[in-house]
Amino acid sequence: MQIIENSKVKEKLYTEKLENGLTVMVIPKPGIQKKYIIWGTKYGSNESVFVVPGEESVTEVPNGVAHFLEHKLFEQENGTNSLDVLTSLGVEANAYTTNDHTAFLFECTDNFYEAMDELMDYVQHPYFTDENVEKEKGIIGQEIMMYDDYPEWRVYLNAINAMYHNNPVKIDIVGTIESISKIDKDVLYKCYNTFYNPSNMALVICGDFNPEGIIEEIKKRLVSSKASSEIKRVYPDEPEEIVQEKIEQKFEVSTPLYTIGIKDRIDNSKSFTKTELVKKHIAIEILLNLIIGRSSSLYKKLYNEGLIFGQPSLEYEFTNIYAHVLITGQSNEPEKVYKEFKEEVKEFKENGINKSDFERIKKMIYGGYVKEYNDVSDISRMFLADYFKGINSFEYLEEINEINVAYLKQILNDVFNDKKMVLSIVEN
């Protein structure tokens, strides 16, 4: 067992790779009542083309399988639904699928071990039939139509489509009505057996636990299986340039929505380490807050002129195959907001970064990181998502001190490129 300690937040991470390949991470929280467990697989909507370990030919499956599998795992052969069982135990259970991983989780104060029995049982015992797969198509079809009616989802997905030519991040996580119609039980079993091998999975537990004791409890509940070799994931080539700068869609909204996207390039050189990726992420977070965060001069100007309503969301999303900045908000004149944003970026490049503003924002972001470690769900989900990116979440607390104005300027010039920017608008 490996122990990683961070003195800044007085937290310890106990991690062990089991014989079957499963990585278990335990974050003890002595004296706290809440308990949280999340079990994930490095399998999301990006993986539609892959080579099964032991096979030579490439397998291609319909879009939306990862999300479909997430839904189907709750249904058990005895006719019960594990989500209902967990709810009856008084725990808050859920599951989700992203572009790069799928996760099953619950949070509770009581009945932890009974709930863990259920969680570890349903994730390890898939039950797919022709009938229950067909029935699920109707349920997920309704979900797809529901997402189509969400202007917030459309403005995001349109921005992604404006940035990317071929990258699977363009694929809607839930798939389409047409793509899910091609899913059958054989496809589900093949994807389950490929991606739900313990060596492709990780489990995080946070709460008042003895690390050695809880890992033994996990081992007791694991079915016998062997670690598989690495799954070869096949992705199309993606040009560096964007598809189009502007994309608009008509929708029934009270106020127009906008997303400004900035397509970033992926550095796969051996010299670019995961630590560098963490530093870059922090630097972009600082830059976004300096340029258009709540305390920035641009935000105050746009707000006072009635061009924006409240703080836009500021995100940097990345995996091993894509990376981009997203700024999303509401405005009656989104094109003006976009123009002002580009002008502000240009001004920062020409006039430099104010050191006192930089230090203030860095402290604010550091405080946000520390706050995340106080919440059992935040810390668990963060460690799982970062693990699948090859990152230890404690690195953010360490690397933020390594960032200076010179590095910030380098990232500003590298990432905030006019030619890589897009504007997505959804309006009446």
DSSP string, 346-377: HHHHHH---HHHHHHHHHHHHHHHHHHTT-HH
Please state, in angstroms and rounded to a whole number, the distance separating the CA atoms of residues 293 and 14. Answer: 36
Which of these three, 170, 200, 233, is where a domain ends?
A: 233
**Residue 240 belongs to some domain of the structure:** no
- Pairwise CA distance, residues 88 & 104, whole Å: 17
Answer whether residue 269 shows pLDDT above 80: no
pLDDT band, residue 298 (cuts 50/70/90): very high
| CATH number (domain holding residue 63) | 3.30.830.10
Residue length, the chain? 428
pLDDT digits (tens, 9 = 90+) for 40-83: 999 999 999 999 998 999 999 999 999 999 999 999 998 899 99
In-domain check, residue 241: no
Task: Looking at the structure, tell me whether residues 218 and 137 fall in a common domain.
Answer: yes
Both structure tokens of 122:
């349903």
Do 204 and 57 belong together in one domain?
yes
Distances (CA, A) of 400 to 321, 355, 365: 24, 15, 9
193 and 252 both lie in a single domain: no
Between the CA of residue 389 and those of 198, 262, 312, 316, 320, what are the distances in Å?
Answer: 17, 21, 26, 14, 7
Is there a contact between 263 and 343 (Cβ–Cβ < 8 Å)?
A: no
Nearest in space to 388 (alpha carbons), one of 162, 201, 263: 201
Look at the chain and report how many structural domains it folds into. Answer: 2
Chain position carrying tokens 């405005």:
331
Q: Cα(14)–Cα(50) distance, rounded to whole angstroms?
A: 32
Query: Same structural domain for residues 146 and 271?
Result: no
In a domain, 62, yes or no: yes
Largest CA distance in the chain: 67
CA 128 to chain CA mean position, Å = 27
Q: What is the pLDDT of residues 330-380, one digit of tens each?
A: 999 999 999 999 999 999 999 999 999 999 999 999 999 998 888 999 999
Q: What pLDDT digit, counting tens, does each position of 170-213 carry?
A: 999 999 999 999 999 999 999 999 999 999 999 999 999 999 99
Quote the percentage of the chain above a pLDDT of 70.
Answer: 100
Specify whether 195 is located in the same domain as 279.
no
Residue pLDDT, tens place only, 389-417: 999 999 999 999 999 999 999 999 999 99
Whether residue 417 is contained in a domain is answered as: yes
Alpha-carbon distance values, 217 to 116, 163, 397 (Å): 9, 46, 31
Q: Tell whether 416 and 270 lie within a shared domain.
A: yes
In the structure encoding, which two tokens stand for residue 31, read together? 């004296």
Does residue 266 share a domain with residue 188?
no
| Spatial contact of 425 and 257, defined as CB atoms under 8 Å apart | yes
Q: How many CB atoms lie within 10 A of CB 105?
A: 22
- Across the beta sheet with 59-60, the strand order is 59-60, 49-51, 232-233
Q: Residue 320: which of 247, 374, 385, 243 has the closest Cα?
A: 385
- Name, in order, each residue with C-beta under 8 angstroms of 156's C-beta and a sequence gap of 6 or more: 259, 326, 328, 424
- Tell me, what's the pLDDT at 228? 87
Q: Please give the residue range of the domain that contains residue 35.
A: 2-233
Using pLDDT thresholds of 50, 70 and 90, give the confidence band for residue 98.
Answer: very high
- In the listed set 233, 261, 284, which residue is the last one of a domain according to the structure? 233
Residue located via tokens 């459309």: 154
Number of H helices, E strands in the chain: 15, 15
Looking at the fold, whether 311 and 349 belong to one and the same domain comes out as yes
Q: What are phi and psi of 164, to 5 degrees?
A: -110, 140
Res 428: pLDDT: 85
Q: Say whether both 34 and 129 belong to one domain.
A: yes
Residue 272 confidence (pLDDT) = 78
Contacts of 364 (CB under 8 A, 6+ apart): 289
Query: In the predicted model, what is the mean pLDDT of residues 295-320?
Result: 94
Could you tell me if residue 238 is inside a domain?
Answer: no
pTM equals 0.93
219 and 282 in a single domain? The answer is no
Closest alpha carbon to 265 in 320, 322, 198: 322
Residues 385 and 270 in one domain: yes
Question: Is 65 a member of any domain?
Answer: yes
Whether residue 218 lies inside any domain: the answer is yes
Domain boundary among 233, 263, 288: 233
Q: Which residues have a catalytic role annotated?
A: 70
Q: Domain for residue 92, yes or no?
A: yes
Residues 214 and 265 reside in one and the same domain: no
What pLDDT is attached to residue 8?
A: 84
Residues 400/9, Cβ–Cβ less than 8 Å: no
Are the C-beta atoms of 48 and 60 separated by less than 8 Å? yes
